[in-house]
Amino acid sequence: MLCGGPQSYPSGRSGSSCCHTSLSLWPCGRYPSALDKFQIFVLVAPVLLFSMVAHEYAHGFAALKQGDPTALELGRLTWNPLKHIDPIWTIAMPIITFVSAGFIFGGAKPVPVDPRNYRNYRRGDIIVSLAGIVTNLILAVICTGLIIALGWVGTTVASLASSIAVLQAMMAIGLTFNLVLAFFNLLPIPPLDGSHVFKYLLPPALSLRYQRIGVLGILILVLLLPTLRPFYIGPVIYFREHALRFADQAFLPRAHEILRNAGFE
């Protein structure tokens, strides 16, 4: 899953923000029926959409705090998901890749920012670029806490256990998605967020050439995805396993069953 950096506007430096996951949603050697796929998609889509919106909102909010009101003025500093939806990348691509290949590839509209408005260009660029990553890490922690809280509610009120189990499963999926969003975006490949930090570690001339890679960034990411996968999946698996182990006692049996059927266990 991938969410690129904010889109610079109108300075000409383009960015992109899309979400991709190379984590298979099906257990090895076992593929669900069309009905099962639909049920899994209904479970996954709201969590993924919220995580993407939060990532984009964080970029716009951080830019505003650094002195750039572009996102606010263009109506993009909002939690309304409709403002962040692109018909092709947010709707068509996720459905096509989910149904045909068992993974989700898609995206949200880039949040427009104008770095020239930052009070301190370098500091502002770094803060705005890392805002989405930090937000996704915070959401991962919140999801872990909600798994525990929901488990307590489901155990205390038995009549709600079935519904609570679904919510617990969604929080576990949210934990995974937000960790992937965070660590994938740390990769120093334009236009990913990590590139906006890495460029300041390079000599000026090399930094300019490096930033021009952003034009072909998505293509490069797709071609190098198998090679890049260990660099972000490793940390995701490590932190996910520790978080789920921490919350394991709170999981309702039905939640484990839902996660296994969805390919997340």
Question: What b/e string do you get for 183-200 counting C-beta neighbours within 10 Å, with b at 16 or more?
Answer: bbbbbebbbbbbbbbbbe
| Owner of token pair 């919350």 | 247
Is residue 104 within 8 Å of residue 263, measured between CB atoms?
no
Rg, Å, the chain Cα set? 19
Positions annotated as catalytic residues are 56
Q: Which of 238, 134, 128 is nearest to 181 (CA)?
A: 134
Structure-token pair, residue 241: 């396993």
